[in-house]
Amino acid sequence: MSSWTLEQVAQHKSPESCWVIIHNKVYDDHPGGAEIILKYAGRDATVVYDPIHPPDALDKNLPPTKHLGPIDSKAADVIAKERSSLALTKDEIRVEEARKRMPPLRRILNLTDMEKVAEQILSHKAFAYYSSASDDEITNIENARAFTRYFFKARVMRPVAHCDPSTKILGFKSSIPVFVSGAALAKLGHPDGEVNITKGCFKEGIIQMVSSNASLSPATIIDAAHKSQTLFFQLYKHRNDEIAEKRVREIERLGYKAIFLTVDAIVPGNRERDVRSPWILEEQESGPLYHVETDNDMLKEDVNIFGTAGALVANDDRDMTWEKTIPWLRRLSKLPIVIKGVQCVEDAVLAAEAQVDGILLSNHGGRQLEYSLPPLEVLYSIRQQRPDVFERLEVYVDGGVRRGTDVIKAICLGAKAVGLGRPFLYAQSAYGADGVVKIIQILKREITTAMRLLGASTVEDLHPDMIQRVDWQAYIRPKL
């Protein structure tokens, strides 16, 4: 295979013929979005490619005919020189300075403290992606506010000197009823990405769910795990059954212990904070951009309205059904199946009838359908209307959890465990694996304290009689 010059690659920068250079190799197209491809058409795209793609993405997602070969040595030297002399952007300078002012990890007392640090040290792009939610971000806010409508009915004079917050999730041990919920693109916040979370989870004995859209491959992540460690996999089913089947067989072969089939992200949500992020960075560098009337069609849509997430779900199956998809997955794998993204009592019942092993009540952290119910309220409704569901499968909750007391409220109402996504992204971005360890330790301390004050020495002692929903709401001081 011959090598290419920069001049040859630069000739291919149109929608009809679009080449990019990644790690000194030339590709015809790449598995991103059309906007990104064309922006870097005919030149090197490595810097923007690396944080949001696993290293093996090109090999797996592009046919061999799209792999055009290496650039020549002269081109490689030019690109290396350009990278080394590239001036830092204003945002990169801000991040460098902020990292010098990070507080000692021992002074992080709660998950909100960790988020405050992450907001300062993350790039604008990374924080916009991690924190963004759909439309006016009301659902994201209400996920957390839902917990303020539930109060404890603490029991006293109970022996709690020995307090054990451990549990089992799908039969696998966890030191607390908490797991890492699937979250994409950890390398946006830290070069080690998801491996930070893997290492932190092992040290503290909790389970990590790995996203299909992780910035490291499933193989890389599981290779970094201890051989005794339990990892689950969050599956975004590809619309092509053959491609989807290949992914399922791969994760089972690699040693993942359960499949969390994601059903609430068949199209990207309207995450406007993420969409606006490139404009803010552009104006930081070049100044404000103003409207100019031209002869062109001013109403033409030329904005990447789906933001960073658009390309991640572009090929997801939009025609999944209880009758078709669950039997298909059962035929492929013997792993436990959990449906991630259940948002109402009716679908919880259908999941039980489909005989899946669990459901994760989730609205994707408020990132998909605005005004979808807070998962805790869905959990309460299942408890009130169809308590039999808890006997037929395991029920989990994610969204809005920031305190050990939040976890305990969900467990009292019948959840087997609670998932957190953003807090682990923030922790690993700021302090790497040590940050992950720290927030697990914080949650463990808060959970144990709450259990003792509630009168429970084990998670089996937590039950619905210990919780009461109120028709008023606690006053919450602003935190950020």
SS3 210: strand
**Tokens (6 digits) for 413:** 């109402």
What letter represents residue 288's amino acid?
A: P
Q: Which two tokens stand for residue 320?
A: 């999944």
> Which residues, including other chains, have CB under 8 Å from residue 147's CB and lie 6 or more apart?
376, 400, 401, 403, 405, 406, 409
Among residues 27, 129, 130, 236, the one annotated as catalytic is 236
Measured between alpha carbons, how far is 160 from 284 in angstroms, rounded to an integer?
56
**Is residue 264 flagged as an active site residue?**
yes
236 is catalytic: yes
Instruction: Determine the Cα angle at 151 with ends 145 and 152, to 5°.
Output: 145
Reduce the DSSP state of residue 429 to 3 states and report it.
helix
Rounded Cα gap, residues 179 and 182, in angstroms: 9
Q: Is 397 helix (H, G, I), strand (E, B) or coil?
A: strand
Nearest to 75 by CA among 19, 25, 38, 40: 25
- Tokens 């090999």, residue? 59
Query: Which letter, b or e, does each residue of 283-297 get, where b requires 16 or more Cβ atoms within 10 Å of its Cβ?
Result: eeeeeeeeeeeeeee
Chain Cα centroid distance, residue 278 = 21
Task: Provide the total of helices (H) and of strands (E) in the chain, helices listed first.
Answer: 19, 15
Structure tokens at 409: 């409220």
Which listed residue (364, 406, 426, 431) is catalytic?
Answer: 364
Angle between helix axes 345-353 and 375-385 (nearest 10 degrees) is 70
Cα–Cα distance, 23 to 26 (Å, whole number): 8
Q: Which two tokens stand for residue 167?
A: 């549990």
Name the active-site residue from 44, 264, 347, 406: 264
Task: Output the 3-class SS for 76-129.
Answer: HHHHHHHHHCCCCCHHHHHHHHHHHCCCCHHHCCCHHHHHHHHHHHCCHHHHHH
CA angle 449, 209, 275 (to 5 degrees): 100
Residues 6+ apart with CB under 8 A from 372: 139, 343, 363, 366
What would the DSSP string read from start to end of 219-261?
Answer: HHHHHHS-TT--EEEEE--BSSHHHHHHHHHHHHHHT---EEE
Contact indicator for 396, 357 with CB cutoff of 8 Å: no
Residues known to be catalytic: 236, 264, 364
